[in-house]
C-alpha cells in the first residue's frame, strides 16, 4: 500500500480516538456542571478535531479514488458514455425485446463502422506491414485439439453458488469486489487491515479453490442479491460445448481463442513461406467464453472478436531486423519488480528495457512497440496506456515472458492486448497429440558435429510407479532443459533418487536411477531440426473499442451555456462517418450541390451522410458531433462551401469542386487540419451553431 494512504489511515484512526476522548471530556464537564466557558472551550476543541478528521477523510478518499478532489465521479462519466452509445446505436443489448441475455451485445450501424475501421487499420499496421500470412479457421473446434492445448482440462474459473437459489457467481470477483469496496468506501478500517486487503487483491489470481473459499468465509461474503450463504468454490469450464454431426459421438467446443487454428496449420504455413523462419500468421475471428457472471458491460462478454498473431521464430535467435524502428519509443512500463515493491508504472525507453533484460528479447520488444503505436494511432491516450509485465504467479510454466497492454478506463486498468513469448509449448503439445512433427529445419553448409542431450525415460519403470500419471511424468522429464537434466543426472549418480516437480500434477515425485537415462552423445548432422518459439500478440478488439469510446468522449457547453453537448473526438482513422453534407437551408439549388459533393465523396471512398432535413444547422452539427464525425460540409452557395472541423469548430471556405479532395486528404492522413486551415480562407460562423 502507498505510504501516503497508510499514514492517512493511521492518522484517521488516531484522530477518531482523539474525538472520542474529547467527547468524553465534554460529557464529563456537562455532568459536573462545569462553568460555561470551560464547556464551550471543550466543545470548540471537539469541533476542531472533527474538522481535522473531515480533512483527513477527504485526503484519504482522494488517495483511494484516484481523483485529486476526492470525488468519485467515474460511475457518472461511464453512465454518460454508455447512455450516448446506446442512444446513438453504437451498441444494443442482444435480444432486447426478449429482455436480453447477459454478456451478449449487438453492434449498431456506427459501432459496426468503428469496428470495421479498427480492424482495417489492424490489418494495415500488422498484416501488411509485417507480410503476415492471414488465415480464417472455423469457430467449432474438435475436442482433441483443445485437449492437446490444455483448454479442456484447465480453461476454468472458480465458481460459487447461492445455496438457496442456485444463482452462480465467479468467486474471485466476489472477493475482489469486497476488498475494493472496503478499501475505497470504508475509511474507518485500519491501515493494517487495508494493507491486508490490498495484499489479497495482489495475490488473487494465485489463490487455490480452498484459499479462495477460506477468504470468502473469513470476510463473511454472501450472495450479492439475496445475502444467502455461498457454496465452496469449484472449477467451471468456460468453453461452450457442442457436438459435430448428428450422432453426438464427435464432441467439440466453440473456440475460446483463435490461436489453435494457426498452430495446427503450422506445417502448411511453413511450407507456404518457403520453409523459412521467422514468419507470422494472423487471424481475426469470433471467440466464445461462457462467462459465469458477465459484468463491466462491453468489457466482459460471452462472444467477442479477437485479432491474434503467432510469430514463429528460432528459439536460439530472437533478434528482429526492424527492432531499431521502435527501440527509441518511450512509454509507461510496469515491470514485475515495480509491482512487487509497491511502486507505480514509469516511462522507460523500450531499447533500455530490452538491453537490461526487463523485456526478454528483441522480437517481444518489437511487438510491444508496434502495439503501442497501433493503440495510440487509434486514439488511445498515451498517458492512460501502460505495459504491465506478468508476475511470477500469473505466468504459464512454459512462457519466457509476458506483458499486457492495459488501458485505464472508468473500470480501472483493463487488459486489452496480451504480448507473450509462449516458447515452443503449443507446437510441441500438438506434435505430441497428433503425431505430426510441427518443426522447422536449419540446413548447414557443412555437416556439423554436435553434442546432443538425450533424455530417455524408462516407461515400464515409470508405469509401475506412477500408473495413470506415467504420461505426465514422461512429458515433464522430456521437457527438461539441459541444466535441469544434468543436475538430475548428477543427483541420480550420487544419491540414486531425486525429487522432481511435475507441473501438470502440481506436486513433487521421486525419480529413481532406473526410471530415466540421461546422456550426451556426439553425432554429425546435416541440418538442425527444432520446434520454433512463438511470440503471440493477442488483441481483444471489443475491449480496445470500448476504451477508445471512453478516451474519445467529452462534454462541452453550448454557446448559450444552457446545455451540455456530447462529443466523440474520434480520429478520422476510426470515425464511423468521416464527413456530413448539409444544405444550410432547404433550397433545391443547395440540395443539388450537396448531391454533387456526395457523389464526389463516394467516388473518393469517403464514408459520409447527407442531411437535407430542415433542422437548424446548429442541431445538425450537434447530432454529428455526438457520432464523432470529424468534418461537416455546409452548402451555403452554389460555388463554394464551408468545411467545419468537429473539435475546434473552425471553418474554412473551399470551392465545390475541391471539397471532396480536401476532406479525403485530411482523413487519409496525407495532410492535417492545420494544413487546410493555413491554405484556405477562414469562415466565421457567428452564432449560427446555436
Per-residue model confidence as pLDDT tens digits over 581-610: 999 888 889 999 999 999 999 999 999 999
Grid cell locating 551: 478516451
Contact (CB, 8 A) for 667 and 578: yes
- Spatial strand order in the sheet of 241-243: 140-142, 251-254, 241-243
Grid cell locating 126: 500488422
Q: Flag whether pLDDT at 559 surpasses 50.
A: yes
Average of per-residue pLDDT across 512-526 = 87
| Dist CA 191 CA 7 (whole Å) | 8
* DSSP secondary structure code for residue 105 in this structure: E
pLDDT, tens digit (0-9, with 9 covering 90-100), for 492-509:
999 999 999 887 788 889
Q: Is 561 helix (H, G, I), strand (E, B) or coil?
A: coil
Between β-strands 346-349 and 401-409, what pairing exists: parallel, antiparallel or unpaired? Answer: unpaired
Residue 70 binned pLDDT confidence (cut-offs 50, 70, 90) = very low
Helix (H) or strand (E) holding 491: helix 482-495
Q: Flag whether pLDDT at 434 surpasses 80.
A: yes
Summary mean pLDDT of the chain: 90
Q: Flag whether pLDDT at 2 surpasses 60.
A: no
Residue 684 binned pLDDT confidence (cut-offs 50, 70, 90) = confident
Grid cell locating 146: 483443445
Average of per-residue pLDDT across 172-199 = 85
Helices (H), 186-218: 191-202, 209-218
Q: b or e along 581-607 (b: 16 or more beta carbons within 10 Å of the residue's beta carbon)?
A: bbbbeeeeebbebbebbbebbeebebb
- Structure pTM? 0.81
Least confident of 76-80, 149-153, 205-209, 420-424: 205-209
Q: Is the dihedral of CA 271, 272, 275, 280 positive or negative?
A: negative
Residue 484 neighbours by CB distance under 10 Å: 15
Q: Classify burial at 423, counting beta carbons within 10 Å of its beta carbon; exposed 0-12, middle 13-18, buried 19 or more.
A: buried
| Dist CA 303 CA 104 (whole Å) | 7
- CA angle in degrees (0–180, nearest 5) for 273-276-281: 50
Residue found by looking up cell 450463504 in the block: 229
Model pLDDT, residue 685: 62
- 245 — alpha (psi -120 to 50), left (phi > 0) or beta? left
Could you tell me which of 133, 129, 135, 134 has the C-alpha nearest to residue 273? Answer: 133
Please give, one letter per residue, the 3-state secondary structure of 129-176. CCCCEECCCCCEEEHHHHHHHCHHHHCEEEEEEECCCCCEEEHHHHHH
Grid cell locating 286: 469470433
Contact (CB, 8 A) for 534 and 310: yes
pLDDT, tens digit (0-9, with 9 covering 90-100), for 625-681:
999 999 999 999 999 999 999 999 999 999 999 999 999 999 998 999 999 999 999
Residue 687 binned pLDDT confidence (cut-offs 50, 70, 90) = very low
Amino acid at each position: 500500500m502507498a505510504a501516503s494512504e497508510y499514514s492517512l489511515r493511521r492518522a484517521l484512526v488516531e484522530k477518531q480516538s482523539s474525538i472520542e476522548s474529547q467527547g468524553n471530556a465534554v460529557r464529563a464537564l456537562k455532568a459536573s456542571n462545569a462553568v460555561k466557558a470551560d464547556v464551550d472551550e471543550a466543545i470548540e476543541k471537539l469541533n476542531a478535531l472533527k474538522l481535522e478528521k473531515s480533512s483527513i477523510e477527504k485526503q484519504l478518499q482522494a488517495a483511494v479514488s484516484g481523483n485529486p478532489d476526492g470525488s468519485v465521479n467515474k460511475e457518472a462519466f461511464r453512465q454518460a458514455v454508455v447512455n450516448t452509445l446506446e442512444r446513438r446505436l453504437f451498441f444494443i443489448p442482444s435480444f432486447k425485446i426478449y429482455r436480453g441475455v447477459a454478456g451478449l451485445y449487438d453492434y449498431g450501424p456506427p459501432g459496426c463502422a468503428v469496428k470495421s475501421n479498427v480492424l482495417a487499420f489492424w490489418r494495415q499496421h500488422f498484416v501488411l506491414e509485417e507480410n503476415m500470412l492471414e488465415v480464417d479457421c472455423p469457430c467449432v473446434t474438435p475436442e482433441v485439439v483443445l485437449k492437446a492445448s490444455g483448454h479442456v482440462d484447465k480453461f476454468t474459473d472458480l465458481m460459487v453458488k447461492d445455496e438457496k437459489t442456485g444463482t452462480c457467481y465467479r468467486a474471485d470477483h466476489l472477493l475482489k469486489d469486497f476488498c475494493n469496496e472496503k478499501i475505497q468506501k470504508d475509511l474507518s478500517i485500519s491501515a493494517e487491515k487495508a494493507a491486508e486487503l490490498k495484499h489479497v487483491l495482489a495475490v488473487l489470481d494465485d489463490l487455490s479453490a480452498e484459499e479462495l473459499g477460506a477468504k470468502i468465509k473469513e470476510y463473511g461474503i454472501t450472495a450479492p442479491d439475496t445475502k444467502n450463504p455461498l457454496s465452496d468454490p469449484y472449477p467451471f469450464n468456460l468453453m461452450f460445448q457442442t457436438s459435430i454431426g448428428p450422432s453426438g459421438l464427435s464432441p467439440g467446443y466453440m473456440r475460446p481463442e483463435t490461436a489453435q487454428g494457426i498452430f495446427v496449420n503450422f506445417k502448411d504455413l511453413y511450407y507456404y513461406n518457403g520453409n523459412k523462419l521467422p514468419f507470422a500468421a494472423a487471424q481475426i475471428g469470433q471467440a466464445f467464453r461462457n462467462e459465469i457472471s458477465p459484468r463491466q458491460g462491453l468489457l466482459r462478454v460471452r462472444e467477442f472478436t479477437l485479432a491474434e498473431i503467432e510469430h514463429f521464430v528460432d528459439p536460439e535467435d530472437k533478434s528482429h531486423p526492424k527492432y531499431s524502428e521502435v527501440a527509441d519509443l518511450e512509454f509507461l512500463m510496469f515491470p514485475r519488480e515495480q509491482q512487487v515493491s509497491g511502486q507505480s508504472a514509469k516511462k522507460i525507453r523500450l531499447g533500455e528495457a530490452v538491453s537490461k533484460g526487463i523485456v526478454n528479447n528483441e522480437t517481444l520488444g518489437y511487438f510491444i512497440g508496434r502495439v503501442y503505436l497501433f493503440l495510440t494511432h487509434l486514439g488511445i491516450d498515451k498517458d492512460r496506456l501502460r505495459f504491465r509485465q506478468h508476475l511470477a504467479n500469473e505466468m504459464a510454466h512454459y512462457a519466457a515472458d509476458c506483458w499486457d497492454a492495459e488501458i485505464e478506463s472508468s473500470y480501472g486498468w483493463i487488459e486489452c492486448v496480451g504480448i507473450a513469448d509462449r516458447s515452443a509449448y503449443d507446437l510441441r503439445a500438438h506434435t505430441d497429440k497428433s503425431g505430426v512433427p510441427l518443426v522447422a529445419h536449419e540446413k548447414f553448409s557443412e555437416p556439423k558435429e554436435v553434442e546432443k542431450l538425450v533424455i530417455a525415460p524408462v516407461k515400464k519403470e515409470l508405469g509401475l510407479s506412477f500408473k495413470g500419471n506415467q504420461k505426465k511424468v514422461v512429458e515433464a522429464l522430456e521437457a527438461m532443459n539441459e541444466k535441469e537434466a544434468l543436475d538430475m543426472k548428477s543427483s541420480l549418480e550420487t544419491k540414486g533418487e531425486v525429487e522432481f516437480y511435475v507441473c501438470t500434477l502440481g506436486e513433487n515425485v521421486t525419480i529413481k536411477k532406473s526410471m530415466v537415462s540421461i546422456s550426451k552423445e556426439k553425432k554429425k548432422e546435416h541440418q538442425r531440426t527444432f520446434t520454433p518459439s512463438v511470440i503471440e500478440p493477442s488483441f481483444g478488439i471489443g475491449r480496445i473499442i470500448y476504451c477508445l469510446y471512453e478516451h474519445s468522449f467529452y462534454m462541452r457547453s453550448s454557446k448559450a451555456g444552457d446545455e451540455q453537448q456530447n462529443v466523440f473526438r474520434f480520429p478520422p482513422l476510426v470515425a464511423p462517418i468521416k464527413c456530413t453534407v448539409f444544405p444550410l437551408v432547404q433550397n433545391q439549388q443547395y440540395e443539388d450541390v450537396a448531391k454533387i459533393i456526395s457523389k464526389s465523396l463516394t467516388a473518393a471512398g469517403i464514408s459520409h451522410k447527407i442531411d437535407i432535413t430542415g433542422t437548424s444547422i446548429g442541431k445538425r452539427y450537434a447530432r454529428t458531433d455526438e457520432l464523432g464525425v470529424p468534418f461537416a460540409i455546409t452548402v451555403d452557395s452554389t460555388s463554394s462551401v464551408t468545411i467545419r472541423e468537429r473539435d475546434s469548430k473552425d471553418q474554412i471556405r473551399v470551392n465545390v469542386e475541391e471539397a471532396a479532395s480536401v476532406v479525403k486528404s485530411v482523413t487519409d492522413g496525407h495532410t492535417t487540419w492545420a494544413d487546410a486551415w493555413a491554405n484556405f480562407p477562414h469562415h466565421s460562423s457567428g452564432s449560427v451553431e446555436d
